[in-house]
Amino acid sequence: MQSNGSAFERADPTPLPPGTRIAMALEYQGSAYRGWQRQDKPHVSSVQAAVESAVSHVAAQPVSILCAGRTDAGVHASHQVVHFDAPVARSAKAWLAGSNALLPNDVAAKWVRPVCEDFHARFSATARRYRYLILNQARRSAHLVGGVTHFDLPLDAELMHREAQCLLGEQDFSAFRAASCQSLSPMRNIHFISVTRFGRLVMIDIQGNAFLHHMVRNIAGVLMAVGSGQQSPGWTADVLATRDRTKGGVTAKPHGLYLVDVSYPDDYDLPKQSPGPEFIRAFVPA
């Protein structure tokens, strides 16, 4: 039986044969990167390039990595899942420790697992979960810069929560997708969404089968407009019904957005843990 990914877990030192498919969980602070996806220009940094460089050094040859969900510039992850096919014999311990020794300080591998060859970080996933963190106070915080979105008008978190419930279920989210979104369908299924206040921190917690480009940030922007009284209650449903992105107001900033969980069928037996980001676990229940 596999570990649940606890803070004191030790990766298995048993060598794995070449060709083993490896699943890896990552966390990263996205402020310094132009998003997850590797860029054509070598001077433009991406999380994918940083991870591939580290894993390739461990393998002593190039390794390509695929992720569960591509995060945008400035967006963070406390639980991104990737996979790659190991070109050489290495243990899970070697992949984990070696990668962490070579990764930049704002990217870390959390665990490594061998998985069956039909596992795919993106296509095997059944759900993604995001949290959007809003520091709701008059002044910004120097210590939380880049890690939260600062909003200086009072927010009614209970109203925002009620407002958000119209987004549940499978619906057309055209009004919440970026103009540059390349998805073939605007249909997405939202499993749950909640808005909760923890002191001066307001958290939007949302899970769905998948998300359109900028979808969570556009939802956050609409909910903040209603919660601050800049728009009337019911505006979220009105925007959704238009299926028109131009009716949905501004896109919320990326700083407060975290990919916090990716769900897979139990058959893959991947570690489970409470969603992050880690610095708010003392305040937010699992």
Of 72, 106, 172, 267, the active-site residue reads 72
Cα–Cα distance between 159 and 34 in angstroms, integer? 34
CA distance 109 to 129: 19
Q: Is 72 a catalytic residue?
A: yes
Q: 43 — phi, psi (to 5°)? A: -85, -5
- Bridge partners, 188 (sequence order): 171
- 203 Cβ partners below 8 Å, 6+ apart? 131, 132, 133, 134, 195, 196, 197, 280, 284
199: left (phi over 0), alpha (psi -120 to 50) or beta: left
Cα torsion for 239, 244, 249, 253, to the nearest 10°? 110
The residues assigned a catalytic role are: 72
